[in-house]
Amino acid sequence: MAKVAFLLASGFEDSEMKNPYEAVKEAGHEAVIIGLEKGAQCDGKKGTVSYKTDLGAAEAKADDFDAVVIPGGSAPEALRVNDDIVRFVKEINDQGKLIAGICHGPQVMISADVLRGKAATCYIGIRDDVKLAGAEYRDEEVVVSENIITSRTPDDEPAFIREILAKLN
């Protein structure tokens, strides 16, 4: 059983959190929501789901986790400017553990400088940012590059979830 961190702030894309989160739990893994503060309420941008954070980023230790998932929407913009979130993602990468981001999720990866030399995809609006971060951009539903998994939009969730679960099992 893997322990998977989900990085979250309000404004996330509802299905990009809900579907991977539920799939990870249904597969028997532990899912922990990490936000800017412990116990913070995070609301989806469409208002269909909301979550409370289990842990604040300052308390998060990469040694305690096997993977991190970063849903898209506008939440990654709030997360990427937090030093503790960036540190956590860098440490996960340094340990060679799985980092998965969909839509705008790779914005956090850009700030943590973990895309350099990797292949990646993302929401089209941040394509140039991904390229400038040193990644080889690919317009595909899911791209797996070593320990990094990326997808573009909610339409890509089945492939995104499939690859996450394949890496965890």
The catalytic residue positions are 103-104
Q: What is the pLDDT of residue 86?
A: 98
Burial of 47 (0-12, 13-18, 19+ CB in 10 A): exposed
pTM: 0.98
Which CATH number belongs to the domain containing residue 108 in this structure? 3.40.50.880
Number of independent structural domains in the chain = 1
DSSP 8-state secondary structure symbol assigned to residue 148: E
**Which positions ≥6 away from 164 have C-beta within 8 Å?**
20, 23, 24, 67, 69, 98, 100, 149
> Which candidate, 28, 5, 26, places its Cα nearest to that of 101?
5
Q: What is the pLDDT of residue 169?
A: 86
Range of the domain at 23: 3-168
pLDDT digits (tens, 9 = 90+) for 106-129: 999 999 999 999 999 999 999 999
Q: What is the pLDDT of residue 13?
A: 98
DSSP 8-state secondary structure symbol assigned to residue 167: H
pLDDT digits (tens, 9 = 90+) for 58-105: 999 999 999 999 999 999 999 999 999 999 999 999 999 999 999 999
pLDDT digits (tens, 9 = 90+) for 47-63: 999 999 999 999 999 99
pLDDT digits (tens, 9 = 90+) for 127-142: 999 999 999 999 999 9
**Which positions ≥6 away from 84 have C-beta within 8 Å?**
56, 57, 58, 60
Cβ neighbour number for residue 13 with a 10 Å cutoff:
24
